[in-house]
Structure 1
Amino acid sequence: MNFIISEAQQAIKKLYNEEVAESVINIQETRKEFEGQVTIVAFPIIRYSKKLPEQTANELGEYLVANVAEVTKFNVVKGFLNLSIAESYFLNLFNKEILSPDFGVYQPNGKKVMVEYSSPNTNKPLHLGHVRNNLLGYSVAELLKAYGYEVVKVNLVNDRGIHICKSMLAWQKWGNGETPESSGLKGDHLVGKYYVIFDKEYKKEIEALKAEGSTEEDAKKNAPLIKEAQQMLQQWEAGDAAVIALWEKMNGWVYQGFDVTYKNLGVDFDKFYYESDTYLLGKDTINEGLEKGVFFKKEDGSVWIDLTADGLDQKLVLRADGTSVYITQDLGTAEKKFEDFGMDESIYVVGNEQDYHFKVLFLILEKLGKTWAKGLYHLSYGMVDLPNGKMKSREGTVVDADELISDMITTAREKTEELGKTNDFTDVEKDELYKNIGLGALKYFLLKVEPKKRLLFDPNESIDFQGHTGPFIQYTHARIKSLLSKAGYVFKTGNQDFGNIMPVELEMIIQLAKYPEELETAAKAHSPASLANYLFELAKLFNKFYHDVPPIVKTEEGEEKQFRLNLCKKTADIIKSGMLILGIASPERM
């Protein structure tokens, strides 16, 4: 209802002889306890009217009713002008704009954005924290794509370092040649198993050294296993053929395992970067920074940057022996990604424990004069907790992603079969439905909360067909599709000659009209949460509509029935497209 802004500007010009900017006209949706659909806040206007807020609001209301056909009446509550808009305006909006095939479709904006997410270590399977990361990264990428960006989805894999050497060494010592094929384990689970074995054996050695009189710190440094793992890392960095071959074999197992998990989660990537390729990057950037005076060397030869004037601290960017620290390779990788894709924006989806790291990284790149650094953004997110006793992992410490997915599908199966609505489904159809419901529940529950917030994930609460859940929205979509099928729906645009529309139908049109704006808001905030909550409100409103209006299928053929069926169809379309952006399928029947 943006036409209200220009009409209000015209009213102020006529009433008070003042030209005002659009920003002066603050419009809001009218609160449900008051009559009307749109509210103008009078307080910013009193500087032009030189009158009290209520008097200003009344004068504006009288002018708009007298001069704008779409405004039928008004009421004033303190300094708020509530306007009632003609039904014909909403019917015209529905028929001419909302029913258009390109409603809510943004044209390409000519900008490219990179979204980096997942970023796993190759020494263990993906866990619940990775699940939130992957779902958030994927949905933000899809949001930005829907908003008109060209999107590149990137995964930077941490495939080198002491962590993978620990798994490799344990497999050498205690693996007896075990493989994913011989063990029946996914490759990432097999490698993770040996990471846990390393940790147990390492702790035994630490305790033995402590019993001989070593301190905890000395025991950790001098345990034979950790020394062997460090030696293996040195051999890897030196290009030792046997170590490289073992590293390639075990990482290969992990990637096969990851691929299965990614497929089950429904996420994808356009480009993989590997730390084994990028860990030496950044040293040229350090030299560039030294030449520009951005960095300085200490007496021991280590290179630093002083960020105290920016409210941070001094940061090491290269060790005295010339080896990289994390920030070194991150600087180099940032340059590499920009060289490869030349994107306008780059989003890092990383947990909030890295907030400080990214502040430092982005600030250094700006100080180095990288023009693209202004487009860097850290999408920080909080941890996910589970109620005690729910879905313990194989290792007993973290919740494994594969177990979580499997348990969600099992729970979806149990809850759906309790309702007894899948008796006429084939086994294949049932399996597909339970997977869609289980994953829909998981994804929606994790995405409906603002990323920055820590959240408590309750699997049973997430699969509630009557709650604020993915399955409730999915069920609403299936209900609409069933209704349309029974009515033999065929699309036709309507006219406005069937009489008054019901209040709930007016609410539906207003809610549907918000969809493009909701996409824009969510994309700009890099947060699927607002879109998820919008879809829930839409589904909830449809169910009110379904119960309030006369049975549509039994209604006589005519403009009224066509209008209501069109309203149903567009609601289903928006639920389906919005849920797909969240990575969630909307079943045709449930």
Structure 2
Amino acid sequence: MDFIIEAAVKAVKALYQTDIEPAAVSIQETRKEFEGQVTIVTFPFTKFSKKGPEQTGAEIGEYLKNELKEVAAFNVIKGFLNLSISDEYWIGRLYNTITADDFAEPKPNGQKVMVEYSSPNTNKPLHLGHIRNNLLGYSVAEILEADGYEVIKTNLVNDRGIHICKSMLAWQKLGNGETPESSGMKGDHLVGKYYVLFDKELREQLKPVLNEVYEKHDLSAFKENQKAKIEESLATIAKVKEKRAQTPETNTKLLGELDDKIAAEEDKIKEIAKNATPIMIETQQMLQKWEAGDEEVMNLWRTMNGWVYAGFAETYKQLGVDFDKYYYESNTYLLGKDIIEEGLEKGVFFKKEDNSVWIDLTSDGLDEKLVLRGDGTSVYITQDMGTAQLKYNDYHMDKSIYVVGNEQDYHFKVLFLILQKLGKVDGNGLFHLSYGMVDLPSGKMKSREGTVVDADDLMAEMEATAKQQTEEMGKVEAFSEQEKTELYHTIGMGALKYFLLKVDPKKRLLFDPNESVDFQGHTGPFIQYTHARIKSVLSRADYQPQSKPTVTELAGVERDLIVLLDKYPETVKEAAKGYSPAIIANYVYELAKTYNKFYHEKSILQAEDEDSKQFRLILSASSAKVISKGMKLLGIEVPERM
């Protein structure tokens, strides 16, 4: 619509003898309750016209109608000038732009972007939270590629640390040589089983340790610094309990605050006590052996990680996501130490008496942040600095996007600020795509208790639900068994992906598997069914693209459909700019709804004449093409028939 803006600039010059910049012209889509497709906001022009916004709008509207053949009519509602663009213009857009082979095809913009997503731990299988992460990361990568970026999809695997050793130790003690082959379990599920068993054993061993603390007041199992912390917490608990006893039962607010304080101190004691259990002591020893390169421990680590990687590969394939590059924390966790030394020399970091290294970010509205422990071991941010530098050295990308849940918002603020202060990476090129957690109707997921919603189980459930609902509609009799299996997978995964991606990434969402597989609602299957419906119409018509039929007037629903199709490239740009698949998802839903309205209001195969029939078939084929393109950006397949 640049030609509208150019003409509006000329109108202001001609009518009010004032030069304005194109940026001063604000245009938007006309609201559905008014006539027209394009709206110009006229309030800013009243200072030039010295007239009210309605009269100003009427004068500019008259000028545009006389000067532009594309403007068929106009109306003014308060300070808004609504323009009706001619049918000839929209028919031309369909014939010359929308049906072109290169419509909405990527045009390289010369920029490189890395999207890091998934980032699993190798001590358990992927779960529902990982599914949102993977789908979001993959879709953002596809959208950015469609907007002309060169995209590198990466996965930073957390394959080291105390949590990995927990699964290893549990398998060593309780596994009896069990393998994925001997158990018939996927490798990631098998390792996850031992992570759960570890936690179960830890809870059992924790009971007597806590009993020594609370019942016998015996702290002999603890080191001196641990004793001091426990005694401090016990003293605090005693004081709070005393205050609680003196608080009237009617003061529920204060009682609740005191209970929270007691619980917080008890949690501190529990964390210290955990490290005094035999199983945690052994785990710490195993981690020390791993870091020292002990051959036996390293072999076990390689074996169990191999099981997990094989399991992950199956899940990723089923989910339909992939990666161009894998990074492993076992290779990157030491990289940040050189950066720490460099930062100390530059005065970005400082050392405390215990030899630990910190950065003071209080002047930036944040806190002091530990970047290296006093014993020289790295913390998460140490390795993240090193990994950021490694990734940049490998690819020299213009932008780096981290797809990580919103519980890490503060971490990434600190990381990006440190990298900026070090001059390592352009701070404007770093972005944390923060997303909300996923809940189920049954409540929040907890992995260590073994009640996690497993990704593989959820995908299988989605396919089963798709099968049940599709068969109830009774339209798959002509399908072979293999075709049915493929269709149920396509519908089930489409339902899952669409439900998780149609919501703004920042929002927490409640995922209901049954609601997501609805062929009539705001769902993936509804859009898939619309695509299959269009393909059926084209097939029955034996449609072959041919010369442009002669059509001079459009029905309202035909015009609406062309306007919406014409918006697709701009929608991709908007989604890329906001890193939001939800923008694409909701656009495709509107397109599917509009096509269905067109389908019900206008006969296609029984059109009043051959030109109208061919025109509506072109409109149908264009709608199928754009629906397919949009759904592909969400990682969703659209079937030819359903």
* TM-score grouping bracket, smaller chain normalisation: over 0.9
Letter in 2 for 1:512: L
Displacement after TM superposition at 1:203 (Å): 0.7
Q: Are 1:293 and 2:331 counterparts?
A: no
Displacement after TM superposition at 1:501 (Å): 1.5
1-structure distance, mates of 2:320, 2:444: 24
2-structure distance, mates of 1:421, 1:38: 42
Structure 2 match to 1:492: 546
Letter in 2 for 1:266: G
1-structure distance, mates of 2:369, 2:547: 64
Structure 1 match to 2:375: 321
Structure 1 match to 2:225: none
Structure 2 match to 1:260: 314
2-structure distance, mates of 1:493, 1:92: 13
Structure 2 match to 1:105: 105
Structure 1 match to 2:256: none
2-structure distance, mates of 1:393, 1:169: 18
8 A contact 2:27–2:38 mirrored in 1: yes
Q: What is the CA deviation profile of residues 339-390 of structure 1, one whole-angstrom value per residue up to 9, with x for unaligned ones?
A: 0111111000000000000000000011111243321110000000011289
Q: Which moved more, 1:36-45 or 1:424-433?
A: 36-45
Residues 193-204 of structure 1 mapped to structure 2, 5 A cutoff: 193-204=193-204
Structure 1 match to 2:558: 505
Aligned residue for 2:598, secondary structure, equals helix
1-structure distance, mates of 2:104, 2:35: 28
2-structure distance, mates of 1:492, 1:556: 19
2-structure distance, mates of 1:50, 1:242: 86
Structure 1 match to 2:58: 58
Q: Are 1:400 and 2:454 counterparts?
A: yes
Structure 2 match to 1:542: 595
2-structure distance, mates of 1:407, 1:392: 19
Q: Match for 1:359 among 403, 413, 423? A: 413
1-structure distance, mates of 2:160, 2:204: 25
Letter in 2 for 1:364: I
Residues 91-130 of structure 1 mapped to structure 2, 5 A cutoff: 91-130=91-130
Q: Which moved more, 1:213-222 or 1:36-45?
A: 213-222
Q: Are 1:311 and 2:311 counterparts?
A: no
Task: Say what the alpha-carbon RMSD is for the aligned residues.
Answer: 1.5
Q: Match for 1:562 among 610, 614, 618? A: 614
Aligned residue for 1:222, secondary structure, equals coil
Displacement after TM superposition at 1:303 (Å): 0.9
2-structure distance, mates of 1:357, 1:506: 49
Displacement after TM superposition at 1:468 (Å): 0.1
8 A contact 1:202–1:225 mirrored in 2: yes
Residues 418-567 of structure 1 mapped to structure 2, 5 A cutoff: 418-495=472-549, 497-550=550-603, 552-555=604-607, 558-567=610-619
Aligned residue for 2:639, secondary structure, equals coil
Structure 2 match to 1:337: 391
1-structure distance, mates of 2:36, 2:594: 18
2-structure distance, mates of 1:303, 1:209: 34
2-structure distance, mates of 1:161, 1:396: 20
8 A contact 2:154–2:323 mirrored in 1: yes
Aligned residue for 1:82, secondary structure, equals strand
Displacement after TM superposition at 1:221 (Å): 2.2
Letter in 1 for 2:136: L
Q: Are 1:349 and 2:403 counterparts?
A: yes
8 A contact 2:140–2:580 mirrored in 1: yes
Aligned residue for 2:275, secondary structure, equals helix
Q: Structure 1-normalised TM-score?
A: 0.97
Structure 1 match to 2:297: 243
8 A contact 1:112–1:150 mirrored in 2: yes
Displacement after TM superposition at 1:218 (Å): 4.8
Letter in 2 for 1:208: P
Letter in 1 for 2:469: K
Letter in 1 for 2:500: L
Displacement after TM superposition at 1:208 (Å): 2.1
Displacement after TM superposition at 1:62 (Å): 1.4
Aligned residue for 2:411, secondary structure, equals helix
Aligned residue for 1:577, secondary structure, equals helix
Structure 2: gaps (5+ residues):
219-268
8 A contact 1:391–1:404 mirrored in 2: no
Q: Are 1:270 and 2:313 counterparts?
A: no
Q: Which moved more, 1:92-101 or 1:268-277?
A: 92-101
Structure 2 match to 1:579: 631
8 A contact 1:480–1:569 mirrored in 2: yes
Displacement after TM superposition at 1:323 (Å): 1.1
2-structure distance, mates of 1:72, 1:122: 63
Letter in 1 for 2:626: I
Q: What is the CA deviation profile of residues 556-577 of structure 1, one whole-angstrom value per residue up to 9, with x for unaligned ones?
A: 6632211110000010001111
Q: Are 1:173 and 2:173 counterparts?
A: yes
8 A contact 1:441–1:470 mirrored in 2: yes
Structure 2 match to 1:70: 70
Displacement after TM superposition at 1:61 (Å): 1.1
Q: Match for 2:426 among 369, 372, 380? A: 372
Displacement after TM superposition at 1:181 (Å): 0.5
1-structure distance, mates of 2:594, 2:439: 31
Q: Match for 2:275 among 196, 206, 221? A: 221
1-structure distance, mates of 2:607, 2:78: 44
Structure 1: gaps (5+ residues):
none
Q: Which moved more, 1:371-380 or 1:6-15?
A: 371-380
8 A contact 1:95–1:493 mirrored in 2: no
8 A contact 2:561–2:594 mirrored in 1: yes
Q: Are 1:158 and 2:158 counterparts?
A: yes
Q: Which moved more, 1:293-302 or 1:223-232?
A: 293-302
Q: Percent identity?
A: 66
Q: What is the CA deviation profile of residues 302-349 of structure 1, one whole-angstrom value per residue up to 9, with x for unaligned ones?
A: 111110010001011111111111111100000000001111110000
Aligned residue for 2:434, secondary structure, equals strand
Displacement after TM superposition at 1:98 (Å): 1.1
Structure 2 match to 1:90: 90
8 A contact 1:393–1:400 mirrored in 2: no
Q: What is the CA deviation profile of residues 236-263 of structure 1, one whole-angstrom value per residue up to 9, with x for unaligned ones?
A: 0000000000000000000000000000
1-structure distance, mates of 2:122, 2:420: 32
Displacement after TM superposition at 1:555 (Å): 2.9
2-structure distance, mates of 1:324, 1:566: 61
Q: Structure 2-normalised TM-score?
A: 0.90
Structure 2 match to 1:12: 12
Letter in 1 for 2:573: E
2-structure distance, mates of 1:58, 1:553: 42
Structure 2 match to 1:409: 463
Letter in 1 for 2:38: V
Q: Are 1:386 and 2:440 counterparts?
A: yes
Displacement after TM superposition at 1:216 (Å): 3.8
1-structure distance, mates of 2:329, 2:483: 41
2-structure distance, mates of 1:370, 1:119: 23
1-structure distance, mates of 2:132, 2:451: 17
Paired residue total: 588
8 A contact 2:606–2:613 mirrored in 1: no
- State the structure with more CA Rg: 2
1-structure distance, mates of 2:93, 2:311: 50
8 A contact 1:121–1:157 mirrored in 2: yes
8 A contact 1:108–1:149 mirrored in 2: yes
